[in-house]
Amino acid sequence: MSFEEMLPYGWQGELPAEYAQTPWQVCRVSAEQRGLYELLTPQGAVSAQPSGALRHRGVLREDFPVVGDFVLADLSQGEAVIQAVLPRRTCLSRAQAYGTGRRGAVQLLAANFDTVLVAQALDGEISLNRLERYLAMTRQSGAQGVIVLTKADTAPYDDLLAQCAQLYPDTPALAVSARTGFGMDALSQWFAPGQTLVLTGPSGAGKSTLVNALSGAQVMKTGDVREADAQGRHTTTHRELLTLPTGAMVIDTPGIRALSLADAENEADELFADIAALAAQCRFSDCRHENEPGCAVRQALQDGTLDARRWKSYRDMLRQMGHQTARADLSFSRDRSRQGKERSRTARQNQRNKYGH
C-alpha cells in the first residue's frame, strides 16, 4: 500500500504496525450524513459505511469516524466498508449540548487538521468571553489557532487586534474582508498544499463566505444576518472537507449555539496564563480567591490590574468543566451498562438458537 497517494489529502506519519499487512486502503473522511460517509481515495470519492466489527467495537461516539479522519477501508466490494479509524493527530470536540443526545457526551467536530481559524464578525458585538471559549477549545484540539476578524470593511478593528495581541500573545490575529479582498493575502499563508484547516465560529461570522472567497467559487451556501442582533442563520448544517485551489483542505463547521468545552481545565490555565501566575502568588496553595488573606487574585481585581470580565470568564469556564466531567462519567457508565446488557441478550439468543431452549 502506497501512502504517497494520500499526501495531497493531508496524510502525515506512518501506518500503525498492526495494520501494515492489511489489504485495505488508507482513505480520508470528507463528509458524514446519518452514519454514512464519503471517503476521498486516490481513485476519487466513494460512499462508505462502517463494518459490523467496527460498530461492535464502538462504545463512544469518538470510536467512530468523523470528518477529517483517516480510515482503512475495504474497496474491493461494491460499496466501500470502513474497517478501522486510524489514530488522530488533532481533534476538535465539545461537550454534547443539552437536548441533543446523552448529557456529558463528547461531540467530535473534526480531526487531523493543522490550524483552527476562529472567525468573529466585526459587524456585530464581539464577545471576548465567547472568543475565549473558542480559543480554549482550539488549544484542547492540539492545533495552532488563528483569530480571524471578518467583515473588516464594516467596522474599525485596530483596537480589537491590539486587545487580542495583549490577551492572547501566542495566537495570531488578523482582520480580513472576503468582499473586498482585504487581508486575504496575509491569511493565505496558512493555506499551503497538504495543510488542513478548520473554520469555526458563531453563526453569522462569515465562515462560508470566507471559504467561497478562498475557493474562488460558490462552494458553500451563505445567508443573511439579522440587523437586530447581527446573528446569522446556520447556513452550514453539516461538516464537510473541501479541497481548495491552493491544495489546502478546509473543514467548515456549523455555527455553534451552545459552546461547551469537553476538557478544558489545562487549556484554561494556558489561555488565562496571567490569572494562573497571580494564583501562584497567593499565600495559600489551596486559595479559592474569595475571602482568604494574602490572595493575589483578589488584590489584582481591587487595584485594577486584573480585568473583572476576564476573571469571570475564567471562573465560568472552570465551573462548567466541573459539571461536564460529572455528566460525562455518568454517561460513560450508562453506555457500558447498556452495551453489556445488549451482549447478554445476544448470548442468550445464541444459546436458544443452538440448543432450542
CB contact at 8 A, 198 and 92? yes
Q: What is the pLDDT of residue 4?
A: 76
CB burial string 51-64: b at 16+ within 10 A, e below = beebeeeeeebbeb
Q: Name the residue type at position 254.
A: P
Q: What is the pLDDT of residue 308?
A: 86
CB contact at 8 A, 338 and 60? no
SS (H, E, C) 317-337: HHHHHHHHHHHHHHHHHHHHH
Q: Which residues pair with 277 in a beta bridge?
A: none
CB burial string 125-145: b at 16+ within 10 A, e below = ebebebbbbbbbbbbbbebbb
The strand pair at 196-200 and 115-121 is best described as: parallel
CB contact at 8 A, 174 and 183? yes
Query: Which residue bears the cell 489545562?
Result: 266
Contacts of 84 (CB under 8 A, 6+ apart): 19, 24, 54, 71, 72
Fold (topology level) of 4-85: OB fold (Dihydrolipoamide Acetyltransferase, E2P) (2.40.50)
Euclidean distance between CA atoms 38 and 46, whole angstroms: 6
Decide if domain 265-331 falls under CATH 1.10.40.50: yes
Q: What is the pLDDT of residue 268?
A: 66
Angle, alpha carbons 110-115-116 (nearest 5°): 60
Q: Name the residue type at position 33.
A: Q
Decide if domain 91-252 falls under CATH 3.40.50.300: yes
Mind listing the pLDDT tens digit of every residue in the chain (357 residues)?
556 788 889 998 788 888 888 889 999 999 998 889 999 998 889 999 999 999 888 878 888 999 999 999 999 877 899 999 999 999 998 765 544 444 456 778 899 999 999 999 998 888 888 898 889 889 889 999 999 999 999 999 999 999 999 889 999 999 999 999 999 999 989 999 999 999 998 888 888 888 888 877 665 665 554 444 444 444 444 678 988 888 999 997 765 444 455 555 556 666 787 888 888 899 988 888 988 899 999 999 999 888 888 888 888 877 766 544 444 444 444 455 555 556 566 666 666 666 665
Euclidean distance between CA atoms 148 and 278, whole angstroms: 29
Contacts of 303 (CB under 8 A, 6+ apart): none
Euclidean distance between CA atoms 356 and 300, whole angstroms: 76
**pTM of the shown model:** 0.72
Domain boundaries, the chain: 4-85, 91-252, 265-331
- In the chain, what is the straight-line distance between the N-terminal and C-terminal CA atoms, in Å? 49
Q: Quick one: CA dihedral 123, 124, 129, 130, positive or negative?
A: negative
CB contact at 8 A, 23 and 10? no
Task: DSSP for 1-47, please give it.
Answer: --SGGGGGGT--S---GGGTT--PEEEEEEEEETTEEEEEETTEEEE
